[in-house]
Amino acid sequence: MDIPKDRFYTKTHEWALPEGDTVLVGITDYAQDALGDVVYVELPEVGRRVEKGEAVAVVESVKTASDIYAPVAGEIVEVNLALEKTPELINQDPYGEGWIFRLKPQDMADLDALLDAGGYQAVLESEA
Partner 1 sequence: MSFPLIFERSRKGRRGLKLVKAVPKAEDLIPKEHLREVPPRLPEVDELTLVRHYTGLSRRQVGVDTTFYPLGSCTMKYNPKLHEETARLFADLHPYQDPGTAQGALRLMWELGEYLKALTGMDAITLEPAAGAHGELTGILIIRAYHEDRGEGRTRRVVLVPDSAHGSNPATASMAGYQVREVPSGPDGEVDLEALKRELGPHVAAIMLTNPNTLGLFERRILEISRLAKEAGVQLYYDGANLNAVMGWARPGDMGFDVVHLNLHKTFTVPHGGGGPGSGPVGVKAHLAPYLPVPLVARGEGGFYLDFGRPKSIGRVRSFHGNFLALVRAWAYIRTLGLPGLKKAAALAVLNARYLKELLKEKGYRVPYDGPTMHEFVAQPPQGFRALDLAKGLLELGFHPPTVYFPLIVKEALMVEPTETEAKETLEAFAEAMGELLQRPKEWLENAPYSTPVRRLDELRANKHPKLTYFDEG
| Interaction site with partner 1 (CB under 8 A) | 34, 36-37, 39-40, 62-66, 88, 127-128
Q: What share of the chain is helix, strand, coil (3-state, %, to 5)?
A: 25, 35, 40
DSSP string covering 66-101, please?
EEEE-SSSEEEEEE-THHHH-TTHHHH-TTTTT--E
- Nearer to partner 1 by Cβ, of 25 and 31: the residue is 31
Q: Which is nearer to partner 1, 38 or 72 (CB)?
A: 38
Q: Report the distance separating Cα 28 and Cα 107, nearest Å.
A: 23
23, 36, 26, 21: which is closest to 3 by C-alpha?
26
For residue 21, the minimal CB distance to partner 1 (Å) is: 30
Shortest distance in whole angstroms from residue 81 CB to partner 1: 17
Q: How far is the CB of 63 from partner 1 (least distance, A)?
A: 5
Q: How far is the CB of 110 from partner 1 (least distance, A)?
A: 21
Q: Which is nearer to partner 1, 40 or 96 (CB)?
A: 40
Please give the Cα distance from 38 to 83 (Å, whole number).
10
The smaller minimum CB distance to partner 1, of residues 34 and 77, is found at 34
